[in-house]
Amino acid sequence: MRRQLLGLLAGLVLAMPAAAQDQAAIERVIRQQMDAFTAGDVTTAFDFASPGIQGLFGTPENFGRMVEEGYPEVWRPGDVRFGRLDQSDMGLWQHVFVTDGDGQIHALEYLMEEIEGRWRIAGVRRSTMPELAA
């Protein structure tokens, strides 16, 4: 029993740095895609999307148009802050808080997919802002 417990604890400790590395890499991908949108470089932004998203939109221009019209806070983000990284049956969800040009804060969740060692964005959904304690 003691040996099993030690093995479990060792596994958890070894997994922690990998999770931190994954989160840093995921945050980098999201930020780089937003930087590409800000620069008007939809081709580079499209490269950060998963094959499923690329197949859905077909071209970088179609993808860029959808983001510009549907997610203007991502198209031209102001301040970007990263929250927790959650695991679900669908995969890893990175919580992101984006302040738009009007000062409005938007809560988003990015579904991430790792393909051949490279993180890609497989979807984005709006979320509710967490409640703050008074």
> Rounded mean pLDDT of 7-30?
68
Hey, where are the domains in the chain? 2-127
- Is 2-127 CATH 3.10.450.50? yes
pLDDT at 3 over 90: no
Model confidence over 19-46: pLDDT tens digits?
Answer: 778 999 999 999 999 999 999 999 999 9
pLDDT, residue 20, reads: 72
pTM for the model stands at 0.82
Cα distances (angstroms) measured from residue 89 to each of 47, 58, 86, 111, 123: 25, 27, 10, 11, 14
Model confidence over 54-107: pLDDT tens digits?
Answer: 999 999 999 999 999 999 999 999 999 999 999 998 899 999 999 999 999 999
Which two three-digit tokens encode residue 50? 């998963």
